[in-house]
Structure 1
């Protein structure tokens, strides 16, 4: 079996809020992978004493543990249990009801000789490679289906001159509109302190014989497709499988640098985003 992982911070002056791990049980049967993208909070109060990377480390560690030790649990059960466990570690010191309490996107995959199970929550991506060479992208696309008024604010912001005060003000309005829809009915969902969010995740099962490899990417690595349009998800998977996860991240960094050098505004207000990729091939 081939397993490769790579991650790179968006900025050296702050911690990487992405998290990835692979767990292979001592029995030698099956395994699991975890990929989280910590949600960077605005520079104001989050109601929590802890950082986002503290949260992703604790949640990711529990997901990895449960996914191999509790094969009787579904992936949704595992996510809900891991969220509750992580919340219990700091609910006495922090306001977990705060809308920007530490949170993350989630990709969780578990496999054995018979099947491959998967779970995706929010805008990280899972790619499944089939026996005939086809690549399926498993996406939670609720961020792409927000109300039209939010999309109009986004487009209005992008149309304004880079660096202008009007762009900054319209951008703040757009961000506030998106934030108001976080973990709400009709909005989008991330793993924070409420275990019931696990019921919102996209899940599925494939026969193991129909999947020869998987790749999970945070949106910082997914910029290859979603932002820079360097190819489709099959092209993205091909880069990972042939050149390795770090090569994909390096390509994205080069695209980000070229984008900035052209005088364009940073993508999603971030010149570089934390990026992580994990690849498993049977």
Structure 2
């Protein structure tokens, strides 16, 4: 098995708000990957004493442990328990009902000798390669499909669409959001490799148009996860003046790529 994990902050002067982990249980059978993209809040109150990296570390750690410790639980139940565990860690000190309480996008994949399970919540991506080389993206595209008018201001997003029916969902403090995730189970023999990417890395496809998801996967396989992130950084540096045209909120974003080949 080949595994690669690269996670780089968008700004070296700021903490990386992404989380990434790969776990291979002691039995030697199966494994799991977890990728979170912490949501950077706008300036102002969040109702929480804790940082986004604190939250993603807590939630990511809980997801990694629970996916390994409870192989018989479905991934939505695992995510629900991980969110609840994380919420309980700061519910007495923080206002978890605040719309900007720390939160994150989620990708989880767990494999055994028989199957590959996956869960995607919000705008990170999971790419699955079959033995014949076909690459299938598993995406939660609710945010991308929303009218741009609904994304005009942070206040409008928080009031109308963040973690609301008809909007989009992230993992924050409500464990029931796990039921909103995109999930599935694939036969193990139909999967040759996986790649999980936060939206700082999916810019290669979604913002800069360097190729489609198949091209992106091929680049990561051939050049490596680190090379994919560095390519995105180069594109960002060369196009910093076109941020508004491209719809990018910041020049650089935290970027994470996890590649697993069976």
TM over 0.5: yes
1:209 aligns with 2:189: yes
Partner of 1:177: 156
Pick one of 223, 226, 241 that aligns with 1:243.
Answer: 223
1:65 aligns with 2:65: yes
CA-to-partner distance for each residue in 1:98-136, whole Å, 9 max, x for gaps? 000000000000001110000000000000001111000
Aligned-pair CA distance for 1:50: 0.4
Structure-1 separation of matches of 2:243 and 2:142:
25
Aligned-pair CA distance for 1:152: 4.1
Report the TM-score when normalising by structure 2.
Answer: 0.96
1:117 aligns with 2:128: no
Matches within 5 A, 1:76-225: 76-146=76-146, 148=147, 151-152=148-149, 173-180=152-159, 181-225=161-205
Aligned residues of 2:46 and 2:101 also touching (Cα < 8 A): yes
State which structure, 1 or 2, has the greater radius of gyration over its C-alpha atoms.
1
Aligned residues of 2:105 and 2:170 also touching (Cα < 8 A): yes
Give the secondary structure class of the aligned counterpart of 1:264.
helix
Pick one of 205, 210, 220 that aligns with 1:230.
Answer: 210
List alignment gaps of at least 5 residues for structure 1. 155-172
Partner of 1:15: 15
Partner of 1:3: 3
Structure-1 separation of matches of 2:70 and 2:149:
45
Aligned-pair CA distance for 1:38: 0.1
CA-to-partner distance for each residue in 1:26-51, whole Å, 9 max, x for gaps? 11110100000000001101000000
CA-to-partner distance for each residue in 1:57-106, whole Å, 9 max, x for gaps? 00000100010110111000000000000000000000000000000000
Partner of 2:39: 39
Structure-2 separation of matches of 1:60 and 1:54:
10
1:275 aligns with 2:249: no
Structure-2 separation of matches of 1:144 and 1:269:
14
Aligned-pair CA distance for 1:244: 1.0
Pick which of 263-272 and 193-202 moved more.
Answer: 263-272
